[in-house]
Structure 1
Amino acid sequence: MKKSHFIGLTLLAFSVTAPAHAEEKRYISDELSTWVRSGPGDQYRLVGKLNAGEQVTLLQTNNATQYGQIRDAEGKTNWIPLAQLSIEPSLRTRVPQLEQQVKDLTDKLANIDGSWNQRTADMQKKVAASDTVINGLKEENQQLRNQLIVAQKKVNAANVQLDDKQRTIIMQWFMYGGGVAGVGLLLGLLLPHMIPRRKQNNRWMN
């Protein structure tokens, strides 16, 4: 190996930063696939590739070469350009989640719509029942009014009949009283003539 290459590799090795304070989740950018290398630079050999959207763990970074050391789902440790890592999940991962969220929201809206329709139907039934009760009360009130009017007419008719009977009775009493008085007067006039008088002897004539 040439001395210049050896010096370059040595400087590259020293330029690798210390491991991060905590392992961080990253996602492969939205490309069909990306190659990973055995070391933090383009001069290292390609050792495989990762699919877009695949989740990896960022172990450390190399600021000089802008490479990051990652661990994939199979536990393999490789290096990849930092530009090909994303903090947010890829669209390939997020689209199913978004679709599920849309489905959940659609189901909720459907349930809300159905619940609202049911509540509206219940309210309409209650209003209809209230209208029925109100109409029934109105009819009953009208019937009571009619009965009251009929009762008042009957009372008035009874009062008229009572007045007529009272007048008839009074007239009858007057007639009875007048008849009795007339009979008494007639008897007073007739009885003296009907009873024969006794002849009295006049002592003075004898």
Structure 2
Amino acid sequence: MLKLRTISIALLASLSVASFTVAADTRYISDNLNTYLRGGPSDNYRLTGTINAGEKVELLAVNDGTKYGQIQDSKGRTAWIPMDQLSTDPSLSERVPVLEQQVKDLTDKLTNIDDSWNKRTADMQEKVANSDGIINGLKQENQQLKDELTAARKKVNDISLQMDDKQRTIIQQWFMYGGGVAGVGLILGLLLPYLFPRRKKDRWMN
């Protein structure tokens, strides 16, 4: 009986070896399984240990008949497990650090964006404040110029009025001088005949 079983295992092993497919490839143990390792490509081989879910392994060969794959783990162990317990997708233990790094990178980018945006906002506010200061200064200068222009116009008007008054005074003085001269002339014209009477001609001269 033992001899027959040994022969059967040997035949199964020979058939399994005959249907091997060599496939050096990276695979991952399914995340939700702690898988038993076997010494050969079927359930008839003894268990040689276990391997943790999500662990990265190298697929060395595939038995197409039994759907078992030969793997090598990170410890250097070589064993066989069912192919349906292998995955081509990285396990969560592999993906979580990558996802965490991506989250960190995105967080850093968002922080940098916030800092950049805050700096730009501060720069814009400073420019607006400076612009307001410049505008207010220009308004004050404009108002000062308006006040100076109003004062200058008033001064010009005052000077014009003073000039008009002086012109009137000068004209009046000329009229007074002219009238005085005319009056003196008239008086002299009236007084001269009395002051210097004409001599009567001697009759003998007739």
TM-score bracket relative to the smaller structure:
0.7 to 0.9
Residue matched to 1:85: 86
The residue correspondences of 1:1-206 to structure 2 (distance < 5 A) are 1-2=3-4, 3-17=7-21, 19-20=22-23, 23-31=24-32, 33-195=34-196, 197-198=198-199, 200-204=201-205
Distance 2:97 2:47 in 1: 31
Question: In 1, are the aligned partners of 2:26 and 2:59 still within 8 Å (CA)?
Answer: yes
Distance 2:13 2:62 in 1: 16
Q: Which runs of 5+ in 1 are unaligned?
A: none
The farther-off stretch of 96-105 and 80-89 is 96-105
Distance 2:73 2:13 in 1: 25
Q: Displacement of 1:116 after TM fit?
A: 1.4
Query: When the two structures are superposed, what TM-score results if normalisation uses the length of structure 2?
Result: 0.86
Q: Which runs of 5+ in 2 are unaligned?
A: none
Q: Displacement of 1:199 after TM fit?
A: 5.8
Distance 1:4 1:52 in 2: 32
Q: Displacement of 1:48 after TM fit?
A: 3.3
Distance 2:118 2:87 in 1: 45
Q: Displacement of 1:197 after TM fit?
A: 4.3
The farther-off stretch of 159-168 and 27-36 is 27-36
Query: When the two structures are superposed, what TM-score results if normalisation uses the length of structure 1?
Result: 0.86
Question: Aligned residue pairs: how many?
Answer: 202
1:104-155 Cα distance to aligned partner (Å, 9 max, x none): 2222212222221222122112112211211221122122112211111111
Distance 1:13 1:34 in 2: 22
RMSD: 2.2
Q: Displacement of 1:173 after TM fit?
A: 0.8
Distance 1:74 1:9 in 2: 26
Q: Which residue type is aligned with residue 16 of structure 1? A: F
Q: Which residue type is aligned with residue 67 of structure 1? A: Y
Identity %: 62
Q: Displacement of 1:178 after TM fit?
A: 1.2
The farther-off stretch of 193-202 and 4-13 is 193-202
